[in-house]
Structure 1
Amino acid sequence: MELLPQSREALDEYVTPSVDDVEGLLRVIEGWAVRTVPECVALSVTLLDDDLTFTLVDTDAGAERPVDPAGDTAPRPDADFALDERGWAEMARERAFAGIASTVCLPVVEEGRAVLNIDLYASTAHAFHDRIDGLVAALGAWQAGAVTNADLGFETLRRAEEAPERLRMQRLVDVAVGLVAARVGVTTDAAAGLLTQAADRAGVSESQAATVARVLLA
């Protein structure tokens, strides 16, 4: 499977003490998934604390090429198009949509709290039948929380595409929190609370409030 370009961009910028090697985690999950479910054509991992999703897509194995209204198979994008980030993502989306026939979402729980969601996508309707127990055991997931066929529209792909922008906004918020903490003389946790309250009162997003705070305090 190939890492979505936006996931590569986000991974290059992502730093967290909670997961040392996100790409390594993705590749381990990929290995377990394709061994247990050979029809698996895509997977996404969502870090719930950070609200970030990273996605791997197989644009060939098990995925059908889109069909045009006349019934002919759509032409394969040329090499230049496929190497373009936006073109690659569009191609991945089209082929994945055409190839996804079943899905399963497996939460991973630590100390009674869900920390990860693992979403797997397969090219056949019954790919996960009688295989969820094996996946749960291999991935350390919570079996009672497993949900099948809830994301046939591949919503996690959209969230993965948004990950780089989410990280940029979070850095902006972090800068604003630091500025507020230094100016007002409070802890960063208290400054974050002040920023959130200000955003709520103003009816704007936290990232917009961060921009305003940084400009005012500069």
Structure 2
Amino acid sequence: MTRDDQDDQDYPTAEGDPVELLPQSREALDEYVTPSVDDVEGLLRVIEGWAVRTVPECVALSVTLLDDDLTFTLVDPDRAGRPSDPDPDGEAQQDGDFVLDEREWAEMARERAFAGIASTVCLPVVEKGRAVLNIDLYASTAHAFHDRIEGLVSALGAWQAGAVTNADLGFETRRRAEAAPERLRVQRLVDVAIGLVAARVGVTTDDAAGLLNQAADKAGVTESQAATVARVLLA
């Protein structure tokens, strides 16, 4: 679902309990600009409408823009608002103690799942043979997606063969969404440093990015730390 898809898309209204943008997703959306998706929040609301219509038990959803490695999340705070306590007995199962079958693994995962989430599905969206989005949906019942994936795939334009169920019962995409504003701040810092290096040294921005990466590797620091140093020196 890129800009052209959204222009032709009716925005269905979500029914039932509302899902809300995480504060961090709102912050990230206010700062994020992309040439490929004109209205990221509009895209999120399109997906929300179809998902909640198809799966009324849906309590949260995340969309990851793979090119930018950014995740945006909507959640019903009343039904999926708190992380569960992992391993309440304080002892993790040691490898080799016993072998779990697929059903037992699923039950163990649900015991350690994020509160209010009992099943998930990840649906990739592919354009021109390349995955551009991941759509992760989260439901409050264990069989919410049973016999519904085909309908979701059709509505959302996803790749059915790539669908994966119950891989994120811990709601890891929420943690990535919470980190999105900081990722954007770091990226802006790096972009400014690359521009300064390119202008000062007289190279392309791609070459400047390579120089910054090399400097970070040699110094044993992160790219953002190298970018900070580069900005100070060039200033």
Band of TM-score, shorter chain: 0.7 to 0.9
Offset at residue 125 of structure 1 (A): 0.2
1:101-116 aligned at under 5 Å gives the runs: 101-116=118-133
Gap change, CA 1:161 and 1:65, over 3 Å in 2: closer
Offset at residue 64 of structure 1 (A): 8.5
After superposition, the C-alpha distances for 1:113-144 in whole angstroms (9 at most, x for unaligned) are 11100000000000001111111111111111
1:68-147 aligned at under 5 Å gives the runs: 97-147=114-164
Counterpart code for 1:118 = I
**Match of residue 177 from structure 1:** 194
**Is 1:34 paired with 2:52?**
yes
Q: Distance in 2 between matches of 1:67 and 1:117?
A: 24
**Greater helix fraction, Structure 1 or Structure 2:** 1
After superposition, the C-alpha distances for 1:67-88 in whole angstroms (9 at most, x for unaligned) are 99xxxxxxxxxxxxxxxxxxxx
* 3-state SS of 2:59 partner: strand
Q: Distance in 2 between matches of 1:67 and 1:43?
A: 18
Counterpart code for 1:43 = L
> Which structure 1 residue ranges, 4+ long, deviate > 2 Å from structure 2?
62-68
> Structure 1: where are the runs of 5+ without partners?
69-95
Gap change, CA 1:134 and 1:59, over 3 Å in 2: same
1:155-174 aligned at under 5 Å gives the runs: 155-174=172-191
* 3-state SS of 1:144 partner: helix
Q: TM-score, normalised by structure 2?
A: 0.78
Q: Distance in 1 between matches of 2:211 and 2:25?
A: 31
Percent sequence identity over aligned pairs = 92
* 3-state SS of 1:168 partner: helix
Q: Distance in 2 between matches of 1:214 and 1:103?
A: 43
Offset at residue 203 of structure 1 (A): 1.9
Alignment match of 1:11 (pick from 7, 29, 43): 29
Q: Distance in 2 between matches of 1:106 and 1:181?
A: 39
Q: Distance in 2 between matches of 1:8 and 1:121?
A: 20
Gap change, CA 1:65 and 1:112, over 3 Å in 2: closer
**Match of residue 46 from structure 1:** 64
Counterpart code for 1:44 = S
Q: Distance in 1 between matches of 2:32 and 2:118?
A: 32
Offset at residue 97 of structure 1 (A): 2.3
Counterpart code for 1:10 = A
Q: Is the 8 A contact 2:84 2:114 kept in 1?
A: no
**Match of residue 166 from structure 2:** 149
Q: Is the 8 A contact 2:60 2:80 kept in 1?
A: no
Report the RMSD for the aligned CA atoms in angstroms: 1.8
Offset at residue 196 of structure 1 (A): 1.3
* 3-state SS of 2:114 partner: helix
